[in-house]
Amino acid sequence: MSRPTSKAFCNWSGGKDSALACYYAMQDKEYSVAKLVTNITKEDQRISMHGVHETLLDMQARAIGIPLQKMILPAQPSMYDYEKEVSATLGRLQREGFTHNIFGDIFLEDLKQYRENQLSKFGMRAVFPLWKKDTRSLLQTFINLGFKAVVVCVQASKLEKSFAGRIIDNSFLNDLPNGVDACGENGEFHTFVFDGPIFKAPVSFTLGEYYYKELNAPSSTDGKTSNTKETMGFWHRELNPL
């Protein structure tokens, strides 16, 4: 007799790492991926950090065919705000029968431990399909599988403004400067996936204007905001839905 399939949800940023992790989980017969969960900023209705408007996020979820659940947070949430919303969301998901949470994290150990500790309070388990894999190989796999993604945000101190708006392909990979992780795992860049093997249809958009935004530098990778006034600057490229 086969083992029952575990009901799972994906931490969904709309970007390449969460898409690839979701793809692997969907290929694994142990999991039934039944929901995408995304952080949205209350002030401007955009995906946290990435800056993509929720209109495109909604289009993306419909194109994939998995229900979307949004966690609404301030643009610069306190740790209290963040954990309160996460706990409420995990409580709802637990009552809906979810037991596993899929993440696209690759090598940030403190973030992995933080996620595992959060989930353990609700009797849930974290799953990391990309964990400790070589990031250049992961990006190459992402491309070879037929995923399509566009860079929506770059850290200004790490990459030139012109990288925002570029398509993730072999040319992009080869143009990354030394010291920039191939998957942007240190926050160097963020992406929006608009097509691929988990999509029923592509998401259509046009490239809009560049804009610059500063955020408080995090004091750690668990999402806690810094007590200092240190900021990080990011160049974004607007995506306009069609």
Residue-by-residue pLDDT tens, the chain, 242 positions: 456 689 999 999 999 999 999 999 999 999 999 999 999 999 999 999 899 999 999 999 999 999 999 999 998 888 899 999 999 999 999 999 999 999 999 999 999 999 999 999 999 999 999 999 999 999 999 999 999 999 999 999 999 999 999 999 999 999 999 999 999 999 999 999 999 999 999 999 999 999 999 987 544 433 433 344 568 899 999 999 99
Q: Which of 147, 186, 154 is nearest to 64 (CA)?
A: 147
**Amino acid 85: pLDDT:** 95
Looking at the 3D structure of the chain, how many domains does it have?
1
Task: Give the number of other Cβ atoms within 10 Å of residue 213's Cβ.
Answer: 14
- Please give the Cα distance from 128 to 121 (Å, whole number): 18
Please indicate, yes or no, if residue 41 is contained in any of the structural domains.
yes
Q: 155 lies in which domain range?
A: 6-241
How far apart CA 145 and CA 207 sit, in angstroms, is 24
- How much is the pLDDT for 75? 83
Closest CA to 48 of 76, 22, 23, 28: 76
At 60 the pLDDT is 98
| Residue 193 belongs to some domain of the structure | yes
CA torsion through residues 204, 35, 101, 137, sign: negative
Q: How far apart are the C-alpha atoms of 155 and 241, rounded to whole Å?
A: 24
Nearest to 157 by CA among 232, 222, 96, 209: 232
**Reported pTM:** 0.92
Q: Is residue 72 part of a domain?
A: yes
Residue 1 lies in a domain: no
Tell me what pLDDT residue 217 has: 57
Pseudo-torsion of CA 88, 61, 192, 11, nearest 10°?
Answer: 30
Specify burial of residue 212 (Cβ count, 10 A radius: 0-12, 13-18, 19+).
exposed
pLDDT score at 149 = 98
CATH number for the domain that contains residue 206: 3.40.50.620
42 in a domain, yes or no?
yes
Sheet containing 148-155: give its strands across: 189-195, 148-155, 231-241, 205-216
Is 31 a domain residue? yes
Long-range contacts, stretch 118-124, CB < 8 angstroms, 24+ apart? 118/83, 118/86, 118/90, 119/90, 121/87, 121/90, 122/90, 122/91, 122/93, 122/94, 123/94, 123/99, 124/90, 124/93, 124/94, 124/98, 124/99, 124/100
Can you tell me which residue has the tokens 């963020």? 190
